[in-house]
């Protein structure tokens, strides 16, 4: 079809529109010229092409069509404060397949509120005022991981609160308010998968109460057996560490991200958050494997039928060690090569309490029979800077739900409205990190241009190679996670009669507690290595030091080497679970 025939309808672009298009591209077209006539025709031809696609009916890939659940209709509700005292729930439902059987049968699972579950709102932790139609869209697709959980017999109980647009490392920026730590309400759960961590950790708190180790009597509400969080810079691992559960950022491209709101495909990860190593391995086995849609997956990503039997492999390894008498508090880690990453213990802001607790946990591997050595990766000290510059310029593009350059399946109905003055006014005193990302992206574009971003991408390869080389000599690397134990929620985020929305008037009150939280985590998002947050001890909190909150340790493995990470974590537990300390 020719340009002329496409443009024979009523023109939608006039000369003023044409000149505006030229100005947007930093040039002008001579008025009353042949060029002006030709390019006006081109503009109207292109608009006719756009209208042709605009008029097509909506299409969803059938692999994402909602599964038929028990009862047929999918319903949901927003629980009130009495039912949801920690504010961990975004929306509750009950979805399972008829006659559900499978490895997750009897397990309850929740998803971070940036995951598409057909029939439920996609909340993103943000105000509906940030969306063009002023309301959260109701998802019309099931994310790949939702379908897999249902097909494995799991019961989907709903979505868990997440931090505003998934961009904060602590748990007080969600539009619905603070998410309380189940171990100590009033303190941070960690973010951005904050609700996931709070709801999963309820089980451990209840167990402590039932055993008489914790005599406090505040309300917890319903918890979850498992959850699936998202992680672009630490958003699974940090809340897991603050909350005393296990949280795995799998190898990049192992678990499909299809149907989940993106911050940047280079660093988008989703993964399990559970109370045990075994459940983490089990849920990973359900989630993992190529889905044929996600651009984050590569030739290294296993097909579904080739996903390792993580639970079976772990059980077989333990059985073999038991057979030779090595599953003991002095030999369970025999044969493992453990590396303590020196630079990770030098991160600015790391408290002495966290440093000493994680070092003691790392050194426990010696008593368990492992070969433990300290190693140095100097580039680790620059990992956060590399992550920031390599990924930040593209974040506004993906926050807006713009599709990437490669074919994928975007979220069908999500249409954020930014940047505007209303956008700034809504977020500056709720989650200033989002505004900061937009400002940073503009800063790089205006002052440095794409050359700096290209350089950061090349250094990301260098950082990956540095970790890869270290993991030739070690089975896993160990680092701290949360730089301090969970801090109190800032006063300005607590809802009162005078401040019913919990909106702080002081930006630094919100921002300062989160500074440096991702220094040991975000670099692994650009390199793609698997990293597990595992709880290893307690830290003191409160003015009198009488409160206590969990401390986590990060276990890093080779890319697609999750099995070894599970072995190391399980061997450590033979010396006693963290709750026993």
pLDDT digits 0-9 by tens, 538-578: 999 987 777 899 999 999 999 999 999 999 999 999 999 88
CB 310 within 8 A of CB 246: no
Q: Which of 525, 526, 517, 530 is nearest to 480 (CA)?
A: 517
CB 41 within 8 A of CB 9: no
Q: State the Cα torsion 104-260-55-25 to the nearest 10°.
A: -170
Q: What is the pLDDT of residue 9?
A: 56
Tokens of 109: 């699972």
Locus of tokens 């030999």: 331
pTM attached to this predicted model: 0.95
Tokens of 243: 């909350």
Helices and strands per DSSP (H, E), number in the chain: 17, 13
Q: What is the pLDDT of residue 244?
A: 98
Residue 102 region by backbone torsions, left for phi larger than 0, else alpha for psi between -120 and 50, else beta: left
Q: What is the pLDDT of residue 12?
A: 86
Report the catalytic residues. 112, 192, 235
CA 160 to each of CA 88, 109, 200, 533, 577: distance values in angstroms, whole numbers, following the listed order: 6, 10, 10, 19, 27
Give residue limits of the domains in the chain: 3-54, 89-580
> How crowded is residue 447: how many other Cβ atoms within 10 Å of its Cβ?
8
Q: What is the pLDDT of residue 352?
A: 97
Write the DSSP symbol of residue 444: I
CB 431 within 8 A of CB 418: no
> How crowded is residue 425: how many other Cβ atoms within 10 Å of its Cβ?
12
* Intra-chain end-to-end CA distance of the chain, in Å: 74
* Phi, psi for residue 249 in degrees, rounded to 5: -90, 105
How far does Cα 517 stand from its chain's mean position? Answer: 14
The arrangement of strands across the sheet holding 337-341 comes to 89-95, 155-160, 108-112, 226-231, 269-274, 246-249, 531-541, 547-556, 476-480, 337-341, 371-375
Whole-number Å distance between alpha carbons of 165 and 175: 10
Q: Give 260's strand partners.
A: 115
Q: What angle do CA 462, 463, 467 make, to 5 degrees?
A: 120
Q: What is the pLDDT of residue 3?
A: 44
Whole-number Å distance between alpha carbons of 124 and 102: 30
Q: State the Cα torsion 327-331-336-338 to the nearest 10°.
A: 120
Residues of the chain with pLDDT under 70: 1-9
Contacts of residue 106, defined as CB under 8 A and 6 or more positions apart, other chains included, come to: 153, 155
Strands (E), 358-517: 371-375, 476-480
> How crowded is residue 83: how many other Cβ atoms within 10 Å of its Cβ?
13
Q: What is the pLDDT of residue 219?
A: 96
CB 409 within 8 A of CB 376: no
Tokens of 566: 């599970």
Reported as type and span, the H/E element at residue 418 is none
CB 10 within 8 A of CB 48: no
Tokens of 460: 């990301």
CB 495 within 8 A of CB 177: yes
Whole-number Å distance between alpha carbons of 274 and 286: 14
Q: What is the pLDDT of residue 6?
A: 47
Q: What share of the chain is helix, strand, coil (3-state, %, to 5)?
A: 40, 15, 45
Q: Which of 247, 484, 535 is nearest to 352 (CA)?
A: 484
CATH topology for 89-580 is Amidase signature (AS) enzymes (3.90.1300)
CB 541 within 8 A of CB 486: yes
Burial (Cβ within 10 Å: 0-12, 13-18, ≥19) of residue 21: middle
Whole-number Å distance between alpha carbons of 530 and 555: 8
């Amino acid at each position: 079809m020719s340009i002329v025939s496409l443009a024979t309808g009523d023109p939608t672009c006039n000369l003023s529109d044409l000149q505006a298009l030229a100005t947007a591209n930093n040039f002008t077209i001579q008025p009353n010229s042949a060029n002006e006539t030709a390019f006006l025709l081109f503009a109207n031809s292109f608009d006719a092409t756009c209208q042709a696609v605009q008029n097509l009916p909506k299409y969803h890939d059938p692999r994402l069509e909602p599964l038929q659940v028990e009862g047929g209709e999918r319903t949901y509700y927003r629980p009130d404060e009495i039912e949801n005292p920690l504010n961990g729930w975004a929306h509750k439902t009950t979805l399972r397949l008829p006659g559900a059987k499978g490895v997750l049968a009897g397990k309850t699972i929740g998803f971070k509120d940036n995951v598409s579950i057909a029939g439920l709102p996609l909340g993103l932790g943000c105000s509906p005022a940030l969306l063009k139609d002023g309301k959260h869209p109701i998802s019309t697709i099931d994310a790949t991981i939702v379908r897999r959980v249902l097909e494995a017999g799991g019961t989907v109980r709903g979505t868990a609160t997440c931090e505003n647009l998934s961009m904060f490392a602590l748990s007080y920026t969600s539009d619905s308010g603070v998410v309380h730590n189940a171990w100590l309400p009033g303190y941070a759960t960690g973010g951005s998968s904050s609700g996931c961590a709070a709801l999963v950790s309820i089980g451990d708190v209840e167990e402590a109460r039932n055993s008489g180790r914790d005599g406090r009597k505040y309300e917890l509400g319903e918890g979850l057996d498992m959850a699936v969080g998202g992680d672009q810079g630490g958003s699974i691992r940090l809340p897991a560490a603050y909350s005393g559960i296990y949280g795995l950022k799998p190898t990049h491209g192992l678990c499909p991200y299809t149907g989940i709101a993106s911050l940047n495909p280079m660093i988008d990860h989703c993964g399990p958050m559970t109370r045990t190593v075994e459940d983490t391995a089990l849920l990973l086995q359900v989630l993992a494997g190529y889905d044929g849609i996600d651009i984050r997956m590569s030739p290294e990503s296993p097909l579904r039928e080739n996903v390792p039997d993580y639970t079976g492999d772990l059980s077989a390894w333990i059985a073999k060690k038991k057979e030779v008498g090595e599953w003991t508090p002095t030999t369970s880690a025999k044969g493992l090569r453990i590396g303590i990453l020196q630079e990770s213990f030098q991160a600015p802001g790391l408290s002495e309490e966290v440093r000493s607790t994680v070092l003691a946990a790392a050194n426990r591997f010696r008593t368990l029979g492992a070969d433990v050595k300290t190693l140095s990766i100097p580039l680790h000290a620059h990992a956060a800077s590399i992550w920031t510059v390599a990924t930040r310029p593209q974040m506004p593009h993906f926050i807006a739900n713009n599709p990437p350059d490669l074919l994928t399946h975007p979220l069908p109905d999500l249409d954020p409205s930014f940047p505007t003055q209303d956008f700034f006014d809504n977020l500056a005193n709720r989650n200033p990190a989002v505004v900061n990302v937009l400002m940073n992206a503009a800063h790089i574009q205006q002052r440095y241009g794409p050359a700096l971003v290209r350089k950061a991408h090349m250094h990301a390869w260098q950082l990956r190679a540095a970790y890869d080389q270290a993991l030739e000599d070690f089975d896993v690397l160990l680092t701290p996670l949360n730089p301090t134990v969970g801090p109190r929620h800032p006063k300005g985020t607590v809802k009162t009669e005078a401040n019913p929305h919990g909106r702080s008037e002081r930006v630094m009150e919100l921002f300062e507690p989160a500074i440096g939280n991702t220094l040991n985590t975000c670099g692994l998002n650009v390199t793609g290595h698997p990293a597990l947050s595992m709880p290893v001890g307690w830290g003191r909190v409160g003015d009198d030091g009488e409160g206590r909150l969990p401390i986590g340790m990060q276990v890093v493995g080779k890319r697609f080497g999750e099995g070894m990470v599970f072995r190391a974590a399980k061997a450590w537990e033979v010396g006693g679970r963290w709750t026993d300390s």
